[in-house]
């Protein structure tokens, strides 16, 4: 062989020998030829290795190292060959009429009925100094089935080419086609009427393919596969150096694909895209119907799979599945979380397949037991079926042969009968929420597996049927884009028999997916195949590092296809080509063993946590957290929610066309287990309202001083200075919390501890053990959780400070509570825990009768200084209050003895509160003590004593609470209504009444300043403080359609993407203009400049509003004009010219009022200076000093 090679070169006909020996001999022979010619005679080995290494690493040093060792051509030769390939591509491009056709698409003999393409972004974010200049382009690839007996494409290389090494690419390859669109959001242009039945899954297909859903899903289908299509030919096209999501880029790509189809004598161009590009391509097609009528746009199956896996992840979020995956050690904790997010596709599909199998193993014994209790024959059917399937599958696996069609058909009837039993079994457990939840998850997995099987086997009818099953779940979980465009995709595909019968026939034969290798059950969607092409461009030998060099990037794009073929031939020459094994890896013994172990682990977890438990509540299986009724209804009715959305969408937007196709879809916001753990964030607006009240009070004081009136501070302070008594309540109206724990420390400190006498001798302590056993006891007492309790306000406030409570049943000693704060915050949880502990304790212990020694006034002290049902005084803690109590316990002696508090008890309690604020005082009237405290400098307003009005209500509540405690030993105490003791009912809940008199910031008799002068000043102040008026409407429910549409438009990109509040403000202001100029509210009046000028501006706005407010209304009117011109609502019958005139007028009017606005700002500054001068004139007066002191107090308080 070696001598023959020396004499005549390698020729066919050599005797076959061992592959390794033959490979080594050929390698040595090629080395001898290459080295003896000093590298001038190139051999396949040296050319192939050089190109392969450069293709994989693009490393000059590595190629030169191999050349020095005699195993490769030099780096310059490799570049020249690469250049030869690129120029050959460009020559064919020129000969084809400036249409690029991959080499492996030019040698086909049969005319193409259509050509399939896939389009996607290719983004390479290389590191740059300024973060700019990264690569965002568009990758396109063509696909076709390989013809039987198709010869390999040979490439002629000319390493001695004298052409320059940089490739001159025609400029048109980088230029985008011109595009003009009248409307970038056109309405759908469908070639056939949409039928609602298209969106109903084909039950016969589901039943047929469901019969194959048995253990070891992938391997089982590998064995059953009987059809093995030809491998798909992939031809990457030159990369378009522009982002794919831009309309101009998509337009250019589609035109290039159409040109290639035409050159191959094809009729239709089929392009597959992910949803992000699909929707733009469809809008292009609707806008260019005639040009793109022969283009079929397909929604990518791979991205659909991943999106549906995200839907499943949302359904499972916080259900305990991720914890069970992690606890079983089948997946790591981070991986489990990523699976729920739809990341790591291979692990996602494996996780759901394993979980599906494990759940069936847990459910099967329950199912057979149910069937046995119902009918022995049905139980036998299930048992025999499982044994038969296991036997046939094991036999087929051992013999390494597929299950024959006859055996499979014999099982069909038995599987069908089993499916009927399972359906009846599910119906019998419809009232078991936990069972229904996990069965629905299993159905979601079945949908995903059916869709995956349709792809792997190329079953077009099953593909569309399973896609229609996915649509309701996309809609229910607010995947709006897949909801909207999935409906269009399904409609287009259902129309294929009439619009593109050749494409329909090809799809039915399986030519809508890609087959990369010769194995069975391994086809993938076009968009996934394109991801593989993209991946090759993102490795070290790909586009990384050359994206900003035009010549290098162009050469890579032009030669990628040919270089990949040469690299493949080189690897095959040395028997190192990695080809997928003809038997699926899922059938390997190691993989099957690993899968069996993982399924067993998951089965143990599902059994441990009783996923199919019988309970009336829907619970998180790992923690016992109970879902609310709203969560239960949404999760168990998720399919019906989605079906309703899809039905309404199809009928209103495609069939009846009552709503525009692109109008916003209403979010369903379904509640899941994750809702249990979502903490609501509330915005506290109470401080703003208090600031406004304080400001108004200050204004009124200054107005009174300016008008020459004296202000009686004592009278003023008999009312609260804020909407709530801030000494006892916070700004939101809730009671101030009391520091109860301090009281325990105080009481313990008063206990005299006995100590042993000090002695230098050795001492010991002797304890009578029996006495300790008889005298030591543990008392267990639980609060009763009574609804509508006087403690309800405190409980609500505790909930606001903490996370949302989680309902959880406590039923065994081994149960872990987990998050204690979120458990104990719910009354039902506390009641359940109290019942459980009482039951457990009562089995071994008994509670002795209660005996209690107490000081007579201690309970009253605790109630009046702050407990859960009363409030603590601001700045007065238990420790400081205790000192007052020790000096004057008699003041509280009779508090709580009677339900109706006497005047004497009330007066003593008021005196006690006076001492809390001023321990040495002899004052017994709280209002006088309040006035004294007010006059002190640097006194915080919150620390002022309450008014007598507010204090009386507080004392009544303390009296009521003390009375309840005094009756604690009575079995069924008779209690008066709390409404008579300082509480009131609001929205079915008991709330504390804080005061009966209005705060002094509200106009009242105390100031006697209700003159017209004050009213005028008030209006002036209000306009100055609120230069732009805000008119809040009723959330849009009662608005006329035109204003609702205007509000929605303002929140879109066309309307400036304003936030919801601002959009509603603009809508309200336009409506107000309409009401003022035309009581009949005719929309045409808004475009009458005379009405707007005379009735709104002159007669109304200039009298009522400041210039800035008028400008705001005119701006809203201009926005409304833009809305009418853009959207052309049917309710407005005004020509565009009239609208533009009003818009121009509104702009001119705004400019005029802008001058007035600037002048008003200067005037206001002067008025402020004048007011300060007025205040200084009164600085020697008593009332003026009081006002200034009050101003300082307000400044310090806020």
Helix pair angle (203-210, 460-476), 10° resolution:
110
Higher pLDDT, 389 or 1082: 1082
Number of H helices, E strands in the chain: 46, 11
CB burial class (10 A; 0-12, 13-18, 19+) of residue 468?
buried
Q: What digits encode the pLDDT tens for the residues 1067-1076?
A: 889 988 988 8
Per-residue pLDDT of 206-219, as tens digits, reads 555 444 433 346 65
In this prediction, residues 909-917 reach a mean pLDDT of: 91
Average pLDDT over residues 248-274: 92
Return the minimum-mean-pLDDT range out of 112-126, 462-476, 752-766, 952-966: 752-766
The rounded percent of the chain whose pLDDT value lies above 70 is 67
For the stretch 931-943, pLDDT in tens is 888 877 555 677 8
Kindly report, residue by residue over 196-207, the tens digit of the pLDDT.
777 877 666 555
- Residue ranges per domain, the chain? 16-98+550-585, 302-480+586-651, 713-741+855-992, 1037-1171
pLDDT at 65 over 90: yes
User: Residue 513 pLDDT more than 70?
Assistant: yes
Residue 627 contacts residue 634 (beta carbons within 8 Å):
no
Band (500; pLDDT cuts 50, 70, 90): very high
Provide the pLDDT for residue 1021. Answer: 36
Of the chain, the percentage scoring pLDDT greater than 90 comes to 22
Q: Is a pLDDT exceeding 70 seen at residue 1035?
A: no
Cβ(577)–Cβ(568) below 8 Å: yes
Mean pLDDT for 94-100 is 84
Band of pLDDT at residue 310, cut at 50, 70 and 90? very high
Report the pLDDT value the prediction gives residue 321, as an integer from 0 to 100.
94
Tokens of 973: 């105490």
Give residue 1194's pLDDT.
Answer: 46
Q: Sorting pLDDT into bands at 50, 70 and 90, what band is 672? A: very high
Ranking 31-45, 115-129, 491-505, 1158-1172 by mean pLDDT, the lowest is 1158-1172
Structural contact between residues 522 and 515, judged by C-beta atoms closer than 8 angstroms: yes
| Residues sharing a CB contact under 8 Å with residue 1070, sequence separation 6 or more, in sequence order | 1043, 1046, 1086, 1113, 1116, 1117, 1119, 1120
Query: Which pair of tokens denotes residue 722?
Result: 């804020």
Confidence band for 1025, pLDDT divided at 50, 70 and 90: very low
- What's the pLDDT score for residue 732? 61
Q: Are strands 114-124 and 268-273 parallel, antiparallel or unpaired?
A: parallel
- Residue 774, pLDDT > 70, answer no
Question: What is residue 264's predicted lDDT score, i.e. its pLDDT?
Answer: 86
3-state secondary structure 1036-1099: CCCCCHHHHHHHHHHCCCCCCCCCHHHHHHHHHHHHHHHHHHCCCCCHHHHHCHHHHHHHHHHH
Mean pLDDT in the chain? 76
- Condensed to tens digits (0 to 9), the pLDDT of residues 1159-1178 reads 554 454 444 444 444 444 44
pTM of the model: 0.63
Q: Is the model more confident about 785 or about 1049?
A: 1049
**1093-1108 residue pLDDT tens:** 888 888 888 888 888 8
When mean pLDDT is compared across 559-568, 752-761, 1048-1057, the lowest value belongs to 752-761
Q: How far apart are CA 435 and CA 418, in angstroms?
A: 19
Mean pLDDT of 814-828: 67
Tokens of 306: 């991943």
Q: What local confidence, expressed as pLDDT, does residue 1012 receive?
A: 34
Token pair of 169, please? 């690419």
What pLDDT is stored for residue 212 in this prediction? 42
Contact 428, 420 (CB under 8 A): no
d(CA 106, CA 100): 10
Residue 769: pLDDT over 80: no
pLDDT of residue 776: 54
What pLDDT score was predicted for residue 701? 62
Question: Which residue, chain included where needed, has tokens 């050159």?
Answer: 263
The pLDDT score that the predictor gives to residue 650 is 93
pLDDT in tens, 855-878: 678 888 888 898 888 888 888 888
Long-range contacts of 806-814 (CB under 8 A, 24+ apart): 806/623, 806/625, 806/626, 806/676, 806/677, 807/617, 807/625, 807/626, 807/627, 807/628, 808/623, 808/624, 808/625, 808/626, 808/832, 809/617, 809/619, 809/624, 809/626, 810/624, 810/836, 811/624, 811/836, 813/840
Say if residues 352 and 515 touch (Cβ distance below 8 Å). Answer: no
- Give the C-alpha separation, 126 to 132, whole Å: 9
Q: What is the DSSP string of 853-885?
A: ---TTHHHHHHHH--SSS-PPTT--HHHHHHHH
Name the pLDDT band for 1196 (thresholds 50, 70, 90). very low
Residue 2: pLDDT over 50: yes
Cα distance between residue 237 and residue 231, in whole Å = 19
Confidence class for position 350, pLDDT limits 50, 70, 90: very high
pLDDT at 441 over 90: yes
Of the listed ranges 109-123, 808-822, 1090-1104, the least confidently predicted one is 808-822
Phi, psi of 1029 (to 5 degrees): -80, 135
- Position 1010 confidence tier, pLDDT thresholds 50, 70, 90: very low
> pLDDT at position 1163, please?
53
- The pLDDT of residue 665 is above 80: yes
Q: What is the band of 581 on the pLDDT scale with cuts at 50, 70, 90?
A: very low
For tokens 């709104």, name the residue. Answer: 1096
395 or 659, greater pLDDT: 659
> What's the confidence (pLDDT) of residue 179?
85
pLDDT (tens digit, 9 = 90+) per residue, 676-707?
776 554 545 445 555 555 555 555 565 555 55
Instruction: State the Cα angle at 548 between 544 and 553, rounded to 5°.
Output: 65
Q: What is the pLDDT of residues 534-558, one digit of tens each?
A: 776 666 566 666 666 777 777 777 7
DSSP state string for 263-289: HTT-SEEEEEE-HHHHHHHHHHHHHTT
């Amino acid at each position: 062989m070696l001598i023959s090679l020396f004499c005549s070169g390698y020729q066919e006909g050599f005797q076959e020998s061992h592959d390794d020996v033959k490979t080594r001999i050929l390698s040595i022979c090629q080395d001898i030829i290459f080295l003896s010619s000093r590298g001038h005679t190139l051999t396949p080995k040296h050319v192939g290795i050089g190109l392969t290494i450069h293709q994989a690493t693009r490393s000059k040093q590595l190629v030169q190292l191999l050349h020095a060792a005699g195993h490769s051509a030099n780096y310059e030769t490799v570049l020249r060959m690469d250049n030869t390939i690129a120029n050959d591509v460009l020559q064919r491009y020129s000969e084809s009429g400036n249409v690029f056709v991959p080499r492996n698409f030019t040698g086909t003999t049969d005319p193409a009925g259509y050509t399939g393409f896939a389009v996607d972004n290719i983004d390479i974010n290389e590191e740059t100094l300024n973060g700019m200049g990264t690569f965002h382009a568009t990758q396109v690839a063509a696909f076709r089935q390989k013809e039987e007996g198709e010869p390999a494409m040979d490439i002629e290389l000319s390493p001695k080419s004298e052409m320059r090494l940089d490739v001159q690419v025609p400029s048109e390859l980088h230029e985008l086609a011109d595009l003009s669109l009248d409307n970038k959001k056109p309405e759908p242009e469908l070639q056939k009427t949409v039928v609602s039945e298209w969106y109903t899954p084909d039950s016969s297909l589901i039943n047929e393919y469901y019969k194959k859903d048995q253990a070891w899903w992938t391997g089982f289908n590998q064995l059953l596969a009987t059809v093995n299509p030809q491998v798909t030919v992939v031809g990457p096209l030159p990369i378009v150096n522009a982002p794919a999501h831009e309309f101009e880029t998509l337009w250019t790509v589609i035109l290039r694909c159409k040109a290639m189809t035409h050159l191959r004598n094809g009729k239709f161009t089929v392009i597959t895209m992910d949803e992000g590009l699909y929707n733009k391509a469809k809008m292009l097609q609707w806008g260019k119907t005639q040009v793109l009528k022969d283009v079929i746009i397909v929604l990518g199956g791979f991205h659909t799979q991943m999106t549906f896996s995200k839907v499943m992840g949302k359904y499972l979020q916080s259900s305990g599945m991720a914890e069970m995956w992690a606890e079983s050690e089948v997946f790591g904790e981070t991986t489990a979380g990523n699976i729920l997010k739809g990341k790591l596709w291979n692990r996602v599909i494996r996780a759901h397949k394993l979980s599906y199998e494990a759940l069936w193993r847990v459910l099967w014994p329950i199912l057979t037991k149910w069937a046995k209790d119902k009918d022995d024959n049905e139980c036998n059917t299930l048992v025999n079926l499982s044994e038969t399937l296991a036997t046939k599958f094991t036999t087929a696996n051992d013999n390494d042969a597929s299950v024959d069609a006859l055996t499979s058909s014999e099982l069909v009837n038995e599987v069908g009968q089993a499916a009927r039993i399972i359906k009846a079994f599910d119906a019998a457990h419809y009232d078991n929420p936990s069972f229904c939840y996990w069965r629905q998850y299993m159905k979601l997995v079945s949908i995903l597996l059916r869709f995956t099987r349709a792809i792997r086997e190329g079953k077009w009818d099953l593909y569309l049927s399973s896609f229609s099953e996915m649509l309701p779940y996309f809609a229910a979980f607010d995947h709006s884009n897949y909801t909207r465009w999935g409906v269009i995709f399904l409609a287009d595909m259902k129309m294929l028999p009439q619009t593109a019968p050749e494409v329909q026939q090809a799809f039915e034969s399986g030519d809508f997916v890609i087959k990369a290798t010769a194995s069975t059950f391994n086809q993938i969607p076009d968009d996934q195949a394109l991801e593989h092409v993209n991946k090759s461009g993102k490795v070290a030998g790909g586009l990384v590092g050359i994206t900003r060099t035009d010549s290098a990037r162009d050469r890579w794009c032009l030669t990628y296809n040919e270089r990949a073929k040469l690299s493949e031939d080189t690897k095959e020459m040395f028997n190192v080509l990695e080809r997928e094994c003809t038997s699926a890896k899922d059938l390997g013994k190691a993989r099957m063993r690993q899968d069996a172990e993982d399924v067993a682990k998951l089965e143990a977890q599902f059994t441990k946590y009783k996923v199919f438990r019988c309970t009336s509540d829907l619970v998180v299986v790992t923690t016992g957290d109970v879902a609310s009724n709203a969560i239960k209804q949404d999760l168990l009715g998720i399919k019906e929610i989605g079906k309703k959305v899809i039905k309404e969408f199809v009928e209103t937007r495609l069939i009846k066309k009552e709503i525009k196709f692109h109008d916003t879809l209403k979010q369903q916001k379904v509640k899941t287990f994750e809702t249990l753990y979502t903490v609501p964030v509330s915005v506290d607006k109470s401080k703003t309202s208090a600031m406004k009240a304080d400001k108004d009070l200050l204004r009124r004081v200054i107005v009174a001083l300016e008008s020459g009136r004296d202000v009686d501070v004592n009278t003023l302070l008999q009312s609260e200075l804020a909407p709530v008594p801030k000494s006892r309540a916070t700004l939101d109206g809730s009671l101030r919390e009391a520091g109860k724990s301090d009281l325990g420390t105080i009481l313990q400190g008063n206990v005299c501890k006995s100590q042993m006498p000090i002695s230098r001798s050795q001492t010991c302590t002797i304890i009578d053990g029996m006495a300790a056993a008889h005298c030591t006891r543990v008392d267990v007492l639980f609060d009763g959780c009574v609804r509508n309790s006087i403690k309800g306000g405190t409980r609500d406030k505790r909930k606001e400070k903490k996370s949302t409570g989680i309902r959880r049943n406590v039923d065994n000693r081994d149960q872990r509570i987990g998050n204690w704060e979120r458990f104990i915050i719910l009354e039902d949880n506390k009641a359940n825990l109290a019942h459980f502990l009482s039951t457990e304790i009562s089995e071994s212990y008994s509670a002795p009768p209660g005996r209690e020694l107490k000081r007579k006034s201690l309970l009253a002290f605790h109630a009046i200084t702050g407990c859960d049902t009363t409030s603590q005084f601001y700045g007065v803690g238990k420790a400081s209050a205790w000192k007052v109590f020790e000096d004057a316990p008699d003041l509280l002696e009779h508090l709580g003895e009677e339900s109706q508090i006497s005047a004497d008890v009330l007066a003593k309690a008021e005196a006690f509160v006076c001492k809390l604020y001023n321990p040495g005082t002899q004052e017994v009237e709280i209002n006088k003590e309040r006035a004294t405290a007010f006059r002190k400098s640097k006194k915080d307003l919150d620390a002022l004593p309450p008014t007598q009005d507010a204090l009386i209500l507080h004392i009544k509540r303390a009296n009521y609470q003390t009375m309840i405690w005094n009756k604690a030993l009575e079995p069924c105490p008779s209690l008066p209504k709390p409404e008579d003791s300082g509480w009131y009912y609001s929205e079915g809940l008991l709330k504390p009444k804080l005061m009966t008199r209005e705060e002094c910031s509200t106009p009242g008799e105390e100031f006697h300043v209700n003159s017209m002068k004050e009213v005028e000043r008030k209006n002036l102040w209000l306009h100055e403080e609120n230069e732009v008026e805000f008119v809040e409407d009723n959330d849009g429910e009662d608005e006329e359609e035109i204003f609702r549409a205007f509000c929605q438009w303002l929140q879109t990109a066309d309307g400036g993407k304003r936030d919801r509040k601002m959009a509603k403000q603009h809508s309200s202001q336009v409506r107000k203009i309409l009401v003022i100029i035309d009581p009949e509210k005719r929309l045409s009046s808004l475009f009458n400049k005379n009405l707007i000028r005379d009735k709104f501006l002159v007669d109304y706005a200039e009298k009522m509003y400041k210039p800035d407010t008028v400008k705001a209304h005119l701006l809203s009117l201009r926005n409304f004009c833009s809305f009418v011109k853009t959207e052309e609502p049917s309710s407005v019958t005004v020509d565009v010219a009239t609208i533009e005139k009003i818009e121009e007028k509104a702009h001119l009017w705004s400019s005029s009022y802008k001058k007035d606005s600037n002048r008003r700002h200067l005037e206001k500054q002067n008025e402020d200076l004048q007011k300060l001068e007025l205040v200084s004139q009164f600085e020697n007066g008593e009332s003026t000093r009081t006002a200034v002191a009050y101003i300082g107090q307000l400044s310090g308080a806020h």
